[in-house]
A = this chain, B = another copy of it.
Amino acid sequence: MAKLISSLELPLSPRPANKSLTDWLYAELRCAILDGRLKRGVRLPSTRDFALQHCVSRGIAMLVMEQLRDEGYLTSKTGAGTWVNERLPDDLLTVCARMPAKPEKAPAFLSTTTRAIRPFQSSDPDVTLFPIDIWSRLNSRHWRRATKALLGGGDSAGYAPLRNAIAEYLGTSRGVQCQASQVIVVTGTQQALDLVARLFIRPGESAWIEDPGYFAAAWALRNAGANIVPVPVDADGMDVKRGMQLAPRAKLAYVTPAHQAPLGVTMSLERRIALLRWAQSAKSIIVEDDYDSEFRFSGVPIPALQGLDKTGSVIFIGSFNKVLFPSLRLGYIIVPEQLMDKVLRMKYQMDLWANSINQAVLTDFIVDGHLGRHLRRMRETYAERRCALQDAAEKYVGDSLQLSGMHAGLATPAFYRAPVASREFEREAADQGIDATSLERYSVSKRRIRGVLLGFAAFESREINHGMQKLAAVVEKFERNTKH
């Protein structure tokens, strides 16, 4: 039977300043039970003795005992006392051992906060030019008048005024044909891709992807179980005929018609039409990612492929995260009407809805004309920087590094002559303090590409010039080695 331990003098750790007496006593007793200092079957002293021993009120002692009894650590019987439960298994005995301190760590690519942005890091906009004051003012305005509806649950499709603003903006500036009722607000391109891939791909089904192409789209498709079919890209965009030879019954085609990721070419009208026709006959979905299309430096922006589609084959996706700032986390999907319920339901089942206040602020930012002004300003700035990059390349690298036309976007591909793998080029550049992303990272078929991606958007002319001189040294080194 239970042995008496009414003289129990269980050593307890001193109470931390931020813990209440109850919390502390509870935690100490629970630990003592779990790590075996209080053995199974052992009888505890009366709450009166207990309170005296540990200098707490009897009320607290009773509260703690009751709690432990409710949770099954103790058993008590009126008049007979309280025991540590017999059924506590031995395998819990070390649970209270303190865990060792452990430094923060995460794979480098999962975090952008720890790395410094240096030329020519390719995906970053220049956030220092974002009109923080305006955004902040709109933000305060919404918080001052925060309504119950805005704080409460949201709408899975998005905040209604934002959906209207997006439909309007895309109609005017991107040639997208849609109603507000076809807009779903998401956290960005990646969530859009993930959602669409899950919804339209069953494991083993084929999906076309541009090659070279956007690797994060490949992740989303692979996570959905897709059989990835790399379709080559040339100066007219994805080679649709080749796609039809490779996988005529593919379930989905992922394309970046306005500004191909990463090569920056525009898909020709002929290819666009061929793609639409194929999708219609194969009953496939075209996912049009409007990648970096907002920053076009020559001509007016190429209208969306979606605007040509009259059979509901195109799902159009885009994001405000690069246009405004990457930590915003708001983007959109434009869904053909007949697919709307299906896509919306999936969005709901993935994460319900997006943050409402941020959506309300963004709505004002668009409707009050700040988005248009910001886009124009950034387009001019980026155009200047693009020129600075071109000039610097001509000055320091000459024919050895050929920059692409760069009609749009935040980065440009640059091709070199030396027969060096672009991963090796990337490594050498990194050693010189320069980010030059290997185009092979975008190669779905693992084809070798003698080129790197150079971002220019986030850097001033001085930085661009300085960076290009370092890059010239890299190019020169490889060319010299080749000649030997």
How many copies the complex holds: the figure is 2
Q: A187 to chain B: which residues have CB within 8 Å?
A: 187, 351-352, 354
Q: A273 to chain B: which residues have CB within 8 Å?
A: 88-89, 92
The listed residue (B71, B73, B124, B350) touching A191 by CB distance below 8 A is B350
Does any Cβ of B come within 8 Å of A375's Cβ? no
Taken residue by residue from 249 to 290, chain A's Cβ proximity to chain B (1 for < 8 Å, 0 otherwise) reads as: 000000000000000001011101100010000000000000
| A179–B157 CA distance with the chains assembled, in angstroms | 36
Q: Of residues 344 to 358 in A, which have CB atoms within 8 Å of B's CB atoms? A: 344-346, 348-358
Interface residues of chain A, those whose CB is within 8 Å of chain B, are 18-19, 22-23, 26-27, 30, 34, 63, 66-67, 70-73, 85, 87-89, 91-92, 94-95, 99, 101-107, 109-114, 117, 124, 127-128, 130, 132, 135-136, 139-140, 143-144, 146, 148-157, 159-160, 172, 175, 177-181, 186-188, 190-191, 194, 198, 203, 216, 219-220, 223, 266, 268-270, 272-273, 277, 299-300, 302-303, 307-310, 325-329, 337, 341, 344-346, 348-358
| CB pair A85 B22 closer than 8 Å | no
The listed residue (B63, B143, B160, B307) touching A299 by CB distance below 8 A is B63
| A149–B135 CA distance with the chains assembled, in angstroms | 17
Name 5 interchain pairs, CB-CB below 8 A, sorted by A.
A19-B172, A71-B266, A117-B152, A186-B351, A355-B355
Q: A71 to chain B: which residues have CB within 8 Å?
A: 266, 268-269, 302-303
Contacts A72-B269, A194-B351, A308-B92: A325 and B152 contacting too (C-beta < 8 A)? yes
| A171–B434 CA distance with the chains assembled, in angstroms | 43
Question: What are the 3 A-B residue pairs with the smallest beta carbon separation, nearest first?
Answer: A72-B269, A112-B153, A327-B356
| CB pair A72 B277 closer than 8 Å | no
Name the residue in A106, A136, A144 with the highest tally of chain B Cβ atoms < 10 Å from its Cβ: A106
In the complex, residue of chain B having the shortest beta-carbon distance to the beta carbon of A64: B300
| CB pair A91 B190 closer than 8 Å | no
